[in-house]
Structure 1
């Protein structure tokens, strides 16, 4: 993946089992929990590239959210602020080699950011 690529899409759901069955049957997605991320089943599309997660719906998370890969979350969040967006969640560690953040654009759309790699060293 490269700077600007969509890397992940989270879909808010109220019933994990129902959503897993629905999306698995509808699109042929492989959906499973990954060790260390229990309660957050991740899906992979048949192309083995696209993917995301099924996450519990909450007051602040009611619509699907795309995550864009960036070279630097901190630099991107500075640009968000300068351009009139709002940071919802600052850079937060996923693993020792990956981080995420969330911002809203001037129209109120929530967008996620991803920085990192799945490599461990």
Structure 2
């Protein structure tokens, strides 16, 4: 994926099993846990391009969140803050070759950032 592409969409859920059944039946999504990411079932749409995860709902995560592929989280966060964004979650490692962060745009919308490759 290229810088600026939507790469992943997380959906907050309170019951992973119920949500997996709901989305797989409703949309035909393939949903499964991937080794190394237990407790975070990943979904893929029938087009084999769109995908994301079903993540536990929490106080700071109550609405679906899109993740944007970036060349550098550090540079993107710096540019975002200069443009009026807030950092909701600092850069964190997913795997040794991938990282994520969450910023809030000037209207408070949460936007996930993704850098690297998980090898999946």
What is the TM-score normalised by the length of structure 2?
A: 0.96
Q: Does 1:49 align with 2:41?
A: no
**How much is the aligned-residue C-alpha RMSD, in angstroms?**
1.2
State how many pairs are aligned: 120
- The answer for the alignment partner of 1:67 in structure 2 is 67
Question: Unaligned regions of 5+ residues in structure 2, if any?
Answer: none
1-side partners of 2:118 and 2:32: how far apart?
Answer: 18
Once the two structures are TM-superposed, the CA of residue 79 in structure 1 deviates from its matched residue by 0.7
**Any idea what the Cα deviations from partners look like across 1:63-91, whole Å, max 9, x if unmatched?**
00000000000000001110111011111
2-side partners of 1:119 and 1:85: how far apart?
Answer: 30
Deviation >4 Å, runs of 4+: none
What is the TM-score normalised by the length of structure 1?
A: 0.95
What does 1:19-34 correspond to in 2, within 5 Å?
19-34=19-34
Once the two structures are TM-superposed, the CA of residue 97 in structure 1 deviates from its matched residue by 1.0
